[in-house]
Amino acid sequence: MAGTTLGSYEILAPLGAGGMGEVYRAKDTRLDREVAIKVLPDALAQDPDRLARFEREAKVLASLNHPNIAQIYGIEGNALVMELVHGETLKCPAPLEYAKQIAEALEAAHEKGIIHRDLKPGNIMVTPEGVVKVLDFGLAFVALEKSGEPMNSPTLTMRATESGMIMGTAAYMSPEQASGKPVDRRADIWSFGVVLWEMLTGRRLFDGETISHTLADVLRGPIDFDKLPKDTPRAIRDVLRRCLNRDLKMRLQSIGDARVVLQEYLADPAGAAEVPRHGMALPHKLAWVVAGVLGIVGGVGWYEATRPVALRPLIRLNAEIAPDMPLISVGGGSTLALSPDGARLAVALRGADGHVRLHTRLLNQSQLTPLAGTEGATYPVVSQRWWRA
């Protein structure tokens, strides 16, 4: 109640409550400033081992000093004393400038080995000055919910297996979280992608009728990138695709890469590069040139190595590709394939709509022809049967 004291803090008014505790606005009577106090659940406060672990982790979290992260001031009993952020929670759709600030906050945390594990619009505040503040870093890692009906709680924490826990908010958790597996910073990258989707579309990506339906969608549901606004920049689409890849090895490996793309786009919308593929930030045009050269050299080399020398003469060729339809990759395999007679080229290109398709053309012609039913196909290989047909 208002007027209650907790150490040197005087409670002024309640701010909210959820599965991870109750939050109050309070006054620090020693420093004469307002703070936010989160009173932790009894299940945590009454367990000496969990409380000791929480205190150790709170010290690490208190070391986070970043303009886009709400500061932790200290612990008072079973309560966490935090910076009081004035503003409102993130409303979607939202500008990409906010996404950049969220990425900066996660980058600072990940550099200290801290994983949020519960990133969602409800944990993101925006001040009247447009400054983003990410809240509740690490609380989902230590606060174990043992009471109440999970279906009625905005934050789901339940036993999944003997060796794993499902912790986080169902609609925003990563597939590995949803299946109770160990997580690393790539879980936050997935959640960032889900929040970015909502910022672009104004709609939740996963919004099942129940938590079980939502978790099923997180694990296996299709992600229709055609539902993004038509004017979504290619560089931003690419970031989103990499963040929302269920394959951990193919998912974006560092939130810093997303931050760089967002920062470059906001500084120069016309010249922003796509997200780096393997930790190498190549400019988009340079990546296209490198991929084209490698693909053509590889195709011609293969042809030269396999042709009967006595029957086939040396062929020299130039293959011009439409400048507005870039090659899709610079690593992992060739994006071009040449028929054994050197007369036909197959190539994977990304169209203006953002979709990747296979295209073919005769080298003595200039017209590229898209192959129906090849959306999403990559790394073409020309078989003997196909080119003869």
DSSP string, 225-240: GGGS-TT--HHHHHHH
Dist. CA 18–CA 119, nearest whole Å: 15
Q: Output the CA torsion sign for 22, 26, 29, 30.
A: positive
Q: What is the CA radius of gyration of the chain?
A: 26
DSSP string, 100-161: HHHHHHHHHHHHTT---S--SGGGEEE-TTS-EEE--TTHHHH----SS-GGG-SSEEEE-S
Annotated active-site residue in 28, 118, 136, 188: 118
Between CA 204 and CA 169 the distance in angstroms is 13
Residue pointed to by tokens 């924490």:
157
Axis crossing angle, helix 255-267 with helix 234-243, rounded to the nearest 10: 170
> In degrees, to the nearest 5, what angle opens at C-alpha 240 toward C-alphas 237 and 245?
125
Strand pairing category for 156-159 and 132-134? unpaired
For residue 70, list its beta bridge partners.
none
What is the enclosing helix (H) or strand (E) of 157? Answer: strand 156-159
**Any catalytic annotation for residue 324?**
no
DSSP state of 69: B
What are residue 22's DSSP bridge partners?
17, 39
Active site residue ranges? 118
